[in-house]
């Protein structure tokens, strides 16, 4: 059914856990192919392998840059993005410099996002800019980032990495990830040419549908099989 296909084409199937082996990568690429999702999102070293596995399919290869904490220098992020494109990535998910953003060094932040966006577009790749909303918590900072991404021509704004762990009151670390409020805010303050990607904590079909209603057109997911299985059960067989 079209509704199931459309939902699958919202999903960037994430293969990013540090413990993932090459065997895991290939297995998860099979999952991506089975459900014909929008893309896989992989670690930089894995781009060539994923591109080879997904050759002649409609599943795109995406790569994370400066992941997960955004601390690389601008030159390194630009180099990493260009290398990923050369290896076969057509979608790039970059993490902003979180400390510079919190510190209000907006010239640095804008120059970096522009530099990565420009190198991606030069290589015919799209760029998704990850805010990491577990760390960037001030509404005015999120709005400013949306304005910057619109100004420099980024293709997507994105909520989270799924690895933005914050120390809790009991001493443990956890993250919130994507929230409806953040997706709505990002949709409201980004230009019409900029799409919104949610990521982090989107684990069920209902999660995905709520994010879609809030304005997201892409979603990172590791629970792709469960989400699509529930969609088939709810909306009928393909």
The CATH number for 77's domain is 3.20.20.70
93-107, 117-131, 138-152, 224-238: least confident range: 224-238
Report the run of H or E that residue 71 belongs to, with start and end. none
Domain that holds residue 49: 2-235
Q: What pLDDT, on the 0 to 100 scale, is given for residue 197?
A: 98
Q: Of residues 60, 158, 182, 207, which has the active-site annotation? A: 158
Q: What pLDDT, on the 0 to 100 scale, is given for residue 219?
A: 98
Pinpoint the alpha helices (H) of the chain. Answer: 2-8, 22-35, 47-53, 74-87, 98-102, 106-122, 139-152, 180-189, 205-214, 224-235
* Cβ atoms 48, 88 nearer than 8 A: yes
pLDDT at 86 over 90: yes
Torsion of CA 147, 10, 203, 52, to 10 degrees: -110
Q: Which contacts of 188-194 are long-range, i.e. CB under 8 A and separated by 24 or more positions?
A: 188/215, 189/142, 189/143, 189/146, 189/147, 190/146, 190/149, 190/150, 190/157, 191/150, 193/150, 193/153, 193/155, 194/146, 194/149, 194/150, 194/154, 194/155, 194/156, 194/157
Q: What pLDDT, on the 0 to 100 scale, is given for residue 238?
A: 44
Q: What pLDDT, on the 0 to 100 scale, is given for residue 237?
A: 58
Summarised one tens digit per residue, pLDDT across range 194-218 is: 999 999 999 999 999 999 999 999 9
50-64, 167-181, 202-216: least confident range: 167-181
Q: Is 93 a catalytic residue?
A: yes
Q: Of residues 53, 155, 197, 207, which has the active-site annotation? A: 197
Q: Is 197 a catalytic residue?
A: yes
Q: Of residues 53, 60, 77, 93, which has the active-site annotation? A: 93
Share of the chain above pLDDT 90, in %: 95
pLDDT at 131 over 90: yes
Q: What pLDDT, on the 0 to 100 scale, is given for residue 15?
A: 98
13 vs 67: CA distance, rounded Å: 16
Q: What pLDDT, on the 0 to 100 scale, is given for residue 6?
A: 96
Q: What pLDDT, on the 0 to 100 scale, is given for residue 1?
A: 81
The total domain count for the chain is 1
Summarised one tens digit per residue, pLDDT across range 94-112 is: 999 999 999 999 999 999 9
Mean pLDDT in residue range 118-132: 98
13 vs 25: CA distance, rounded Å: 11
Mean pLDDT in residue range 36-52: 98
pLDDT at 41 over 50: yes
Q: Write the CB contacts of 137 (distance below 8 Å, at least 6 apart in sequence).
A: none
196 vs 184: CA distance, rounded Å: 9
């Amino acid at each position: 059914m079209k509704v199931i296909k459309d939902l699958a084409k919202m999903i960037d199937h994430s293969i990013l856990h540090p413990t993932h082996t090459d065997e895991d990568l290939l297995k998860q690429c099979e999952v991506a192919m089975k459900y014909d999702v929008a893309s896989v999102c992989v670690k930089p070293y894995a781009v060539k392998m994923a591109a080879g596995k997904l050759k002649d399919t409609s599943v795109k290869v995406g790569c994370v840059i400066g992941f997960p904490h955004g601390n690389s220098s601008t030159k390194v992020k630009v180099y990493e993005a260009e290398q990923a494109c050369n290896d076969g990535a057509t979608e790039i998910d970059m993490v902003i410099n979180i400390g510079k953003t919190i510190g209000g060094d907006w010239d640095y932040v804008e120059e970096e996002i522009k530099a990565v966006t420009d190198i991606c577009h030069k290589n015919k790749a799209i760029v998704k800019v990850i805010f990491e909303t577990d760390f960037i918590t001030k509404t005015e900072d999120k709005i400013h980032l949306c304005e910057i991404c619109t100004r420099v021509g980024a293709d997507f704004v994105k909520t989270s990495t799924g690895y933005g762990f914050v120390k809790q009151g009991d001493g443990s670390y956890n993250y919130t990830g994507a929230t409806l409020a953040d997706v709505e805010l990002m949709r409201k303050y980004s230009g019409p040419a900029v799409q919104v990607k949610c990521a982090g904590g989107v684990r069920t079909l209902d999660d995905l549908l709520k994010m879609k209603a809030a304005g997201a057109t892409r979603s990172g997911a590791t629970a792709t099989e469960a989400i699509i299985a529930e969609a088939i059960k709810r909306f009928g067989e393909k």
